[in-house]
Structure 1
Amino acid sequence: MTVADEEAALLGLAPVAPDRTVAYGPHPDQLVDLYLPRPGEGAPATARGPVVVLLHGGFWRAAYDRRHLSPLAAELAGRGLPVALAEYRRVGAGGGAPQTFEDVAAGIDAACAALAPESPDPSPVLVGHSAGGHLALLAAARPDTPVARVLAVSPVADLARAHALGLSCGAVAELLGDGPGFPARLAAADPAHRPPAGVPVTLLHGTDDPDVPLELSRRYAARGPATTVLRELPGVGHYAPVTPGSPSCDALIRLLMSAV
């Protein structure tokens, strides 16, 4: 699969329905889809690890929702993990700062509460892709975070640099609201300036990513504490790491399962 084929390969997968969905607020996007552990043949009949919370990307815009990560959610549940695929308010449909950030925090808490019977570990692992990687890193840095670990895939890990590069036609300014006070809002929402204290972070990023340059993860890792690790995927683009069946998605799953 070439880098040019990656988006079509992911979006061409049929969405997988969750076992159930829980709401954490009144807005239609304040939802978490739950995928219960389905261990394969020879695997334990009980959950093998903590709750995994998936956060999708799409540059924080309402045009992109969680459904494209449902095959990954189902794949992880098939490995015996309790999985929550979180939705949140996005730019153009009631989201932006601070609503999007508040929703992610509330969605994580709701996921942990809903999946508590499925996991012996109350501390979740966050897996975020693209803008969802940004949200995962930011959520792990909040003072009262319950997060045990972050796996950020092709993340917008350096918000100031993403803004300077004008990624996705000014998506950062759309998220934060351009105008007076923008620099302060940018600093507060930039995970490169707010690494999570004591939370191990793994960044997984393709060297040929045309949507979120590898440079952003390298900059984050250079600033990050000793608990931050960057793993580069040679020749890989933006979407393959979250496309079940691809070698780079296999690498993601190995990293996730290695700490279970």
Structure 2
Amino acid sequence: MDPADVLTRPSDLPDVVVRYGDHADAVLDLHLPPRRVGAPAPASPLLVFVHGGFWRAAYDRTHTRPLAEALAAQGFVVATPEYRRVGSPGDLAGGWPATADDVRAAVAALPGLLDGLGVPVTTTTVAGHSAGGHLALWLANEPLPLHRVVALAPVGDLRAAAAAGLGDGAVEAFLGGTPDEVPERYDAADPATRLAPRPACPVTVVHGADDAQVPVGNSRGLARRHPFVDLRVLDGTDHFAVIDPHSPAWPVVLSAVRGE
């Protein structure tokens, strides 16, 4: 099987799509846990999952639907926000800070949106994959009521990623330059910098040892710099296995998002 099969695997549509802002990409998919017909919705843990794709317009939230369905089946209310991305036209153009502003706005809006829908939740976990893992780590020190952050194969050290040329210059395209050209943007956006001081919530990183897109060394460096980061390295695991409910990595992902 192609390791990237999960990106195009058929999946059901979300239960609800809601809007958190004014531009066309300011939407959230909601995948709800099963419940008995006619019974009130029980309070469930909320998982906000931020998709990856090196912050580029070529990738959107739809490729995370198999993961969202699997997590909803495990009892989570799963919210997958869309956001402005690099390469989109006009007012949809992403990059720094628009992309980060969007994910922060989505998480901030969720309590009111879910309350309006009659969907009660308990704890809030923010998770993300690849560039979405970067955004999840970035949110860890934002003034939001988060109970945990889980990053799957994240771009967690932007300066190191830029030096390594990850994603054919994806970091420079996202931030508008190199670390020497726009150092203040790297300081503001880079989890390697922002995780000092230590966030109030626990931070877990799950990364495959065989990841070719974002090598595990990026996460190892982040964890060396911030030893409170709970780094779980999976042997024989590539970049996409950590978002594939059919992969051997899935039990480790489930354990991380449950706070185990």
TM exceeding 0.5: yes
C-alpha displacement of 1:47: 4.6
**Does 177-186 or 229-238 show the bigger shift?**
177-186
* One-letter amino acid matched to 1:78: A
C-alpha displacement of 1:192: 0.7
For 1:231, what is the secondary structure of its paired residue? strand
Show CA shifts across 1:144-174 (max 9, x none).
1222101100000100000000111110110
**Cα contact 2:7–2:64 (8 A) shared by 1:** no
For 1:167, what is the secondary structure of its paired residue? coil
The residue aligned with 1:135 is: 135
* In 2, Cα distance between equivalents of 1:237 and 1:38: 31
**Cα contact 2:28–2:81 (8 A) shared by 1:** yes
From 211, 216, 219, the equivalent of 2:218 is 216
- For the aligned residue pairs, the C-alpha RMSD in angstroms reads 2.0
Correspondence 1:254 to 2:251? no
**Cα contact 2:54–2:131 (8 A) shared by 1:** yes
* In 2, Cα distance between equivalents of 1:97 and 1:38: 37
The residue aligned with 1:24 is: 20
* One-letter amino acid matched to 1:214: V
**Cα contact 2:126–2:148 (8 A) shared by 1:** yes
The residue aligned with 1:169 is: 168
Aligned residues: 249
The residue aligned with 1:114 is: 113
* In 2, Cα distance between equivalents of 1:106 and 1:10: 28
From 75, 82, 102, the equivalent of 1:87 is 82
C-alpha displacement of 1:46: 5.3
Aligned pair in 2 of structure 1 residues 216, 45: CA closer, same or farther (>3 Å)? Answer: farther
TM-score (norm 1): 0.89
* In 1, Cα distance between equivalents of 2:85 and 2:27: 13
Aligned pair in 2 of structure 1 residues 160, 125: CA closer, same or farther (>3 Å)? Answer: same
Aligned pair in 2 of structure 1 residues 48, 171: CA closer, same or farther (>3 Å)? Answer: same
More helix by share: 1
The residue aligned with 1:69 is: 64
Question: Percent identity over the alignment?
Answer: 44
